[in-house]
């Protein structure tokens, strides 16, 4: 059978890094672009699940159109789909709109659905990642320009599942009101990690704001944020479970 053509983005060169013990494949459903590493090719059922999740968001937004555009927190209705409830909760925790959590939430819900079929499973959605693993791994967070190296965070087996989510004012297409070159957050909750990455990147209006952003991140430890890596105007800030290594 002919495999579908791979769609490559100039913003996603990190996808060239492979996991040698896993099979990698891409899933593109409308605007959703997943890169997955699993024990076997699960692309067909995963694509169906992505369509289900997207359909739930679309149906909810048809009745509540501000769900797609609000830059401030919204409360989900009592009968809202789970994906909508997760997004709204995360946005409310860090004072951003629910769509700030969409990519991370999709990544986590896809990973949760298929982890029984593949206990080793890495789902990346536009820089927002959710991971299950039965062994220690190094999770790449930043490629070194002009060098065949990247900054990584070592994650032990007992620390999975976990999520790393990214936001940037200079890379990719995400809406950001700050000047961050890169903000990467870590949490066991990808909805929170994604929303927090957006909120912290918004707050990073320049290198002089780095200390305040790190303090803001520390204040969210009690709601489940585990760490942050931030880079802006030549300055780097790190807090929490973000021990850095070079691979």
Please report the sign of the dihedral spanned by the C-alpha atoms of residue 87, residue 89, residue 92, residue 93: negative
Contact 106, 53 (CB under 8 A): yes
> Is the residue at 5 inside a domain?
no
Integer CA distances (angstroms), 38 to 13, 25, 77, in order:
19, 8, 35
Contact 15, 125 (CB under 8 A): no
> Is the residue at 8 inside a domain?
no
> Is the residue at 7 inside a domain?
no
pTM > 0.75: yes or no = yes
CATH number (domain holding residue 207) = 3.10.520.10
Sheet containing 150-155: give its strands across: 137-143, 150-155, 245-246
> Is the residue at 226 inside a domain?
yes
> Is the residue at 206 inside a domain?
yes
Average pLDDT per 10 consecutive residues for the chain, totaling 247 residues = 41 53 96 97 98 98 97 97 98 98 98 98 96 96 63 96 89 58 96 97 94 98 98 94 91
> Is the residue at 4 inside a domain?
no
> Is the residue at 6 inside a domain?
no
Angle at 104 between CA 102 and CA 106, to 5 degrees: 65
pLDDT of residue 174: 56
Contact 110, 38 (CB under 8 A): no
Please state whether the peptide bond connecting residue 190 to the residue before it is cis, i.e. omega within 30 degrees of 0.
Answer: no
Nearest to 104 by CA among 19, 96, 178: 96
Domain that holds residue 70: 16-246
Please report the sign of the dihedral spanned by the C-alpha atoms of residue 167, residue 170, residue 172, residue 175: positive
pLDDT of residue 247: 76
The total number of structural domains in the chain stands at: 1
pLDDT of residue 142: 75
| Residues making up the chain, counted from first to last | 247
Q: In the Cβ-directed half-sphere of 61, how many Cα atoms lie within 13 Å?
A: 17
């Amino acid at each position: 059978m002919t495999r579908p053509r791979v769609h490559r983005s100039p913003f996603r060169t990190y996808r060239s890094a492979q996991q040698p013990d896993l099979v990698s494949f891409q899933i593109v459903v409308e605007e959703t672009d997943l890169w997955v590493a699993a024990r076997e090719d699960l692309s067909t059922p995963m694509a169906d699940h992505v369509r289900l999740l997207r359909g739930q968001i679309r149906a909810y937004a048809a009745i509540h159109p501000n769900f797609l555009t609000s830059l401030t927190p919204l409360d989900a209705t009592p009968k809202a789909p789970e994906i909508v409830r997760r997004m709204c909760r995360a946005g409310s925790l860090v004072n951003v709109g629910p769509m700030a959590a969409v990519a991370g939430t999709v990544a986590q819900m896809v990973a949760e659905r298929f982890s029984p079929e593949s206990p080793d499973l890495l789902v990346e959605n536009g820089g927002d990642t959710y991971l299950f693993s039965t062994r220690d791994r190094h999770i790449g967070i930043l490629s070194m320009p002009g060098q065949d190296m990247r900054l990584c965070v070592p994650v032990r087996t007992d620390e999975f599942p976990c999520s790393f989510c990214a936001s940037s004012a200079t890379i990719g297409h995400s809406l950001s009101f700050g000047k961050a070159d890169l903000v990467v957050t870590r949490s066991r909750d990808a909805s929170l990690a994604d929303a927090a990455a957006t909120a912290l990147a918004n707050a990073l209006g320049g290198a002089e704001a780095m200390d305040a952003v790190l303090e803001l991140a520390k204040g969210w430890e009690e709601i489940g944020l585990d760490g942050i890596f931030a880079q802006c105007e030549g300055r780097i800030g790190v807090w929490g479970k973000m021990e850095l290594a070079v691979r």
